[in-house]
Amino acid sequence: DAKTTQPTSMDCAEGRAANLPCNHSTISGNEYVYWYRQIHSQGPQYIIHGLKNNETNEMASLIITEDRKSSTLILPHATLRDTAVYYCIVREVTNRDDKIIFGKGTRLHILP
């Protein structure tokens, strides 16, 4: 089962920052938080990942709370092309089985 919960859908105005929350209250110390997105009918795309510290790359920023029980993905200036389903994933690590388990994700609609 997925170890994360996310809102089913969100709207964001074009040009504004999109803040997508994720709860992962049972995360363990060595597990990373990953974010992917899937644009309609395409394979998922990696966005960002982190362990404890906040992370930023050319696509987004990831803010992880101090207790690591939740995180927020921030798309600083959303465009229409950011309309997609966003998945927050906590990686399970059991020996060699580094599974990636997807939840239902958040469907983000960018409004013109």
Report 87-106 residues binding other proteins (CB under 8 A). 87, 91, 96-105
How buried is residue 75: exposed, middle or buried, by Cβ count under 10 Å (0-12/13-18/19+)? buried
Give CA–CA dist 111/52, Å, rounded. Answer: 32
For residue 37, give the amino acid letter.
R
Report 15-74 residues binding other proteins (CB under 8 A). 32, 34, 36, 38, 41-46, 49
Task: Kindly state the smallest distance separating residue 57's Cβ from other proteins, in Å.
Answer: 10
55 Cβ neighbours under 8 A, 6+ residues apart: 48, 49, 61, 62
Task: Kindly state the smallest distance separating residue 107's Cβ from other proteins, in Å.
Answer: 10
Task: Kindly state the smallest distance separating residue 75's Cβ from other proteins, in Å.
Answer: 17
Binding site for other proteins (CB under 8 A): 32, 34, 36, 38, 41-46, 49, 87, 91, 96-105
